[in-house]
């Protein structure tokens, strides 16, 4: 099951729209400086997420953590994308907020998924 999970997850979980860059640049109006700043903050939060897994969540159920982080990543992404695409909010700071908020669950998901393969 673990090997199947590692092969199927990128096929299902990594499906992105080809219009993401255009939405980011033209509709949300994201500029290079703000994008770089939010990416840097996101990297720090990703590092913090790695530390959280190492220090606090390592002894919890890995299956539950993968399930919770996968669902939370989709739930975090939904409102930012939908509100920007349907012209409810077209602020670059609002659109980039998803990048920052999703880093901790993404770090947890990354570590747990990697540990499963290493432990095999």
pLDDT 10s digits, 67-86: 899 899 889 989 998 999 89
pLDDT of res. 18? 80
pLDDT of res. 5? 78
29-33, Cβ contacts within 8 angstroms, sequence gap of 24 or more? 29/90, 29/91, 29/92, 30/92, 30/95, 30/96, 31/92
pLDDT 10s digits, 12-43: 777 777 888 899 999 999 999 999 999 999 99
CA 102 to chain centre: 4
Specify whether the CB–CB gap between 90 and 47 falls below 8 A.
Answer: no
């Amino acid at each position: 099951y673990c090997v199947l999970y590692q092969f199927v997850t990128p096929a299902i979980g990594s499906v992105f729209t080809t219009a993401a860059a255009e939405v980011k640049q033209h509709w949300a109006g994201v500029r290079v400086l703000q994008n770089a700043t939010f990416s840097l903050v996101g990297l720090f939060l990703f590092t913090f997420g790695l530390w959280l897994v190492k220090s606090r969540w390592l002894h919890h159920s890995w299956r539950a953590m993968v399930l919770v982080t996968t669902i939370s990543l989709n739930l975090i992404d939904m409102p930012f994308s939908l509100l920007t695409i349907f012209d409810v909010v077209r602020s670059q700071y609002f659109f980039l907020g998803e990048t920052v908020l999703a880093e901790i669950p993404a770090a947890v998901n990354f570590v747990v998924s990697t540990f499963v393969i290493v432990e095999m």
